[in-house]
Chain A
Amino acid sequence: MSEQLLKVRGLKIEGRSDETWNQIVNGVDLDLKKGEVLGLIGESGAGKSTVGLASMGFTRDGCRISDGTVEFDGIDLVNASAAVKRDLLGKRIAYVAQSAAASFNPAHRLIDQHTEAPVQHKVLGKAESEADGVELYRKLRLPNPEEIGFRYPHQVSGGQLQRAMTAMAMACRPDLIIFDEPTTALDVTTQIEVLASIREIVEEFDTAAIYITHDLAVVAQMADKIKVLLKGDEVEEAETRKMLSDPQEDYTKSLWAVRSFKRPQKPAVHTSATPVISVQNVTAAYGKIPVLHDVSFDIHEGRTVAVVGESGSGKSTTARCITGLLPPKQGHVEFDGEALPLDYRKRSKMQLRQAQMIYQMADTALNPRKTIGELIGRPVQFYMGLTGAEKRKRVEYLLEEIELEPSQYYNRLPSELSGGQKQRIGIARALAAEPKFIICDEVTSALDQLVAEGILKLLAKLQDELNLSYMFITHDLATVKSIADEVVVMKDGRVVEQGLKNDMFTPPHHPYTDLLLSSVPEMDPDWLTNLLNERGVDNIGDAAVDKM
Chain B
Amino acid sequence: MASILKIIAQRLALGVLTLFVVSVVIFTAVNLLPGDFAQAILGQGATEEAVNAIRKDLGLDQHPVSRYLSWLGGAVQGDLGNSFAQANFASFVGSDAGSGMASVAAQIGPRFENTMFLAGVTALIAVPISITLGVLAALYRNSIFDRATNILTLSSISSPEFFLAYILILFLAVLNPMLPSLSNIYDGMSFGERFEKTLLPALTLTLVVTAHMMRMTRAAIINLLASPYIEMARLKGLSPMRVIVKHALPNALAPIINVIALNLAYLITGVVVVEVVFVYPGIGQLFVDSVKIRDIPVVQACCLIFAAAYILLNLTADILSILSNPRLRHPK
Binding site for B on A (CB under 8 A): 56, 58, 60-61, 85-91, 94-95, 97, 99, 102-108, 116-117, 120-121, 151-152, 154-155
Residues from chain A with a CB closer than 8 A to the CB of B236 are 89-90, 94, 116-117, 120
Asked if A87 and B237 make an inter-chain contact with CB atoms under 8 angstroms apart, the answer reads yes
Residues of the A chain whose Cβ atoms lie less than 8 Å from the Cβ of B326: 106-107, 152, 154
Least Cβ distance of A450 to chain B in Å?
27
**B237 contacts A105, C-beta separation under 8 Å:** no
Q: Which of B220-246 contact A (CB under 8 A)?
A: 226-229, 231-239, 242, 246
* A88→B232 contact, CB < 8 A: no
A58 to B227, CA, bound (A): 16
In the complex, how many angstroms separate the beta carbon of A16 from the nearest chain B beta carbon? Answer: 15
User: Which residue in B226, B229, B231, B246 is a CB contact (below 8 Å) of A106?
Assistant: B229
Query: Which has the most chain A C-beta neighbours within 10 Å: B236, B242, B250, B332?
Result: B236
Whether B327 pairs with A154 at a CB distance below 8 angstroms is yes
A56–B250 CB distance below 8 A: no
Q: State whether B228 touches A97 (Cβ < 8 A).
A: yes
Whole-angstrom distance from the CB of B123 to the nearest CB of chain A? 24
Q: How far is the CB of B328 from chain A (nearest CB, A)?
A: 10
Report the separation of the CA atoms of residues A91 and B227 in the bound assembly, to the nearest whole angstrom. 22
Instruction: With A106-B251, A107-B326 as known contacts, state yes or no: A90 contacts B237, CB within 8 Å.
Output: yes
A283 to B291 Cα, complex, angstroms: 65
Residue of B nearest to A112 (CB): B246
CA of A154 to CA of B242, assembled, Å? 23
B interface residue numbers (CB < 8 A to A): 226-229, 231-239, 242, 246-247, 250-251, 326-327, 330, 332
Q: Specify which chain A residues have a CB less than 8 angstroms from the CB of B234 in the assembled complex.
A: 58, 89
Rounded to whole angstroms, the CA-CA distance of A154 and B327 in the bound complex is 7
* Beta-carbon contact of B327 and A106 below 8 Å: yes
**Bound: A88/B229 CA distance, A:** 19
- A154-B332 contact in complex given A88-B237, A89-B236, A117-B236, C-beta closer than 8 Å: yes
Cα–Cα, bound, A428→B231 (Å):
39
Closest-by-CB residue of B relative to A178 is B235
Chain A nearest CB from B16 CB (Å) reads 30
* Min CB–CB distance B229 → chain A (angstroms): 4
Task: Give the chain B neighbours of A95 by CB distance below 8 A.
Answer: 232, 235
- Residues of chain A lying within 8 A (CB to CB) of residue B242: 120
Contacts of B239 in A (CB 8 A): 86, 120
Since A91-B237, A107-B247, A120-B239 are in contact, a sample of 18 more A-B pairs with Cβ atoms closer than 8 Å, ordered by chain A residue number, is A58-B235, A61-B226, A89-B237, A90-B235, A94-B236, A102-B227, A102-B228, A102-B229, A103-B231, A104-B229, A104-B232, A105-B229, A106-B327, A117-B236, A117-B237, A120-B236, A154-B326, A155-B330
List the A side residues contacting B327 at CB < 8 Å: 106, 152, 154
Contact call A155/B332, Cβ cutoff below 8 A: yes
- Residues of B near A106 (CB, < 8 A) are 229, 251, 326-327
Are the CB atoms of B231 and A60 closer together than 8 Å? yes
Contacts of A116 in B (CB 8 A): 236, 238, 246
Q: In terms of DSSP, what is the predominant structure of the interface of chain B?
A: helix
| A384 CA to B312 CA, complexed, in Å | 57
The answer to whether A108 and B250 touch (CB under 8 A), given A103-B228, A103-B232, A121-B237, is yes
A548 to chain B, nearest CB (A): 22
Instruction: List B contacts of A94 (CB < 8 A).
Output: 235-236
- 9 closest A-B pairs by CB: A89-B237, A90-B236, A107-B250, A90-B237, A102-B228, A86-B237, A95-B235, A103-B228, A105-B229
Q: What are 6 residue pairs bridging A and B, where the CB atoms are less than 8 Å apart in the complex?
A: A95-B232, A95-B235, A102-B229, A120-B242, A154-B326, A155-B332
Residues in B neighbouring A151, C-beta threshold 8 A: 330
- Nearest residue, chain A, Cβ from B229: A105
Specify which chain A residues have a CB less than 8 angstroms from the CB of B251 in the assembled complex. 105-107
Minimum Cβ distance to chain A for residue B145 (Å): 18
Contact partners of B232 in chain A: CB under 8 A: 95, 97, 103-105
- Residue of chain A at shortest CB distance from B235: A95
- Residue among A86, A91, A104 with max Cβ neighbours from chain B (10 Å): A86
- In the complex, which residues of chain B have a beta carbon less than 8 angstroms from the beta carbon of A89? 234-237
- Residues of the B chain whose Cβ atoms lie less than 8 Å from the Cβ of A107: 247, 250-251, 326
* Contacting residues, chain A, for B227 (C-beta < 8 A): 102
Set of chain A residues within 8 Å of B246, measured between Cβ atoms:
108, 116
Shortest Cβ distance from A60 into B: residue = B231
A108 — which chain B residues lie within 8 A by C-beta? Answer: 246, 250
Bound-state Cα–Cα, A91 to B235, Å: 10
Give every chain B residue within 8 A of A97 (Cβ-Cβ): 228, 231-232
B-side contacts of A105, CB under 8 Å: 229, 232-233, 247, 250-251
Partner of A99 from B228, B237, B238 at Cβ < 8 Å: B228
Cα of A90 to Cα of B246 in the assembled complex, Å: 16
B229 proximity list for chain A (CB < 8 A): 102-106
- Of all chain B residues, which has the CB nearest A156? B332
Q: Cβ of B231 and Cβ of A86 under 8 Å apart?
A: no
Q: How far is the CA of A60 from the CA of B230 in the complex (A)?
A: 11
Tell me which residues across on chain B come within 8 A of A58, comparing CB atoms.
234-235
Query: In the assembly, what is the distance between CA of A86 and CA of B237, in Å?
Result: 4
CB distance from B196 to the nearest CB of A (A): 40
| B231 neighbours in A (Cβ, 8 Å) | 60, 97, 103
Give the distance in Å from the alpha carbon of A370 to the alpha carbon of B109 in the complex. Answer: 62
Given contacts A86-B239, A107-B251, A108-B250, contact A152 B330 (CB under 8 A): yes
Query: Which residue of B is nearest A92, CB measured?
Result: B237
Chain B hits for A60, CB < 8 A: 231
CB distance from B71 to the nearest CB of A (A): 45
Tell me the bound Cα distance from A154 to B329 in angstroms: 11
Minimum C-beta distance from B227 to chain A (A): 7
Residues of B within 8 A of A117 (CB): 236-238
CA distance A103 to B229 in the complex (A): 4
Give the complex CA separation of A99 and B332 in angstroms: 19
Q: How far is the CB of B140 from chain A (nearest CB, A)?
A: 14
A154 and B232 CA atoms in complex are apart in Å by: 17
The residue in chain A whose Cβ has the minimal distance to the Cβ of B331 is: A155
A104 to B242, CA, bound (A): 16
A74 to B44, CA, bound (A): 95
CA A56 to CA B233, docked complex, whole Å: 14
Closest to B224 in A: A105
Interface centre among B226, B228, B229, B250 (most CB of A within 10 A): B229
Closest A-chain residue to B232, C-beta based?
Answer: A103
Bound-complex Cα distance A89 to B250 (A): 23
B204 to chain A, nearest CB (A): 36
Kindly report which residue of chain B lies nearest to residue A87, judged by CB atoms. Answer: B237
A78 and B251 CA atoms in complex are apart in Å by 32
Closest chain-A Cβ to B257's Cβ sits at a distance in Å of 14
- Measured CB to CB, the nearest residue on chain A to B236 is A90
If A107-B250, A108-B250 touch, whether A120 touches B228 (CB-CB below 8 Å) is no
Q: How far is the CB of A181 from chain B (nearest CB, A)?
A: 12
For A121, list chain B residues within 8 Å (CB). Answer: 237
**A116 (CB) vs chain B CBs: closest residue:** B236
**Across the interface, which residues of A come within 8 angstroms of B228, CB to CB?**
97, 99, 102-103
Q: Which residue on chain B has the smallest CB distance to residue A88?
A: B237
B168 to chain A, nearest CB (A): 38
CA distance A108 to B238 in the complex (A): 15
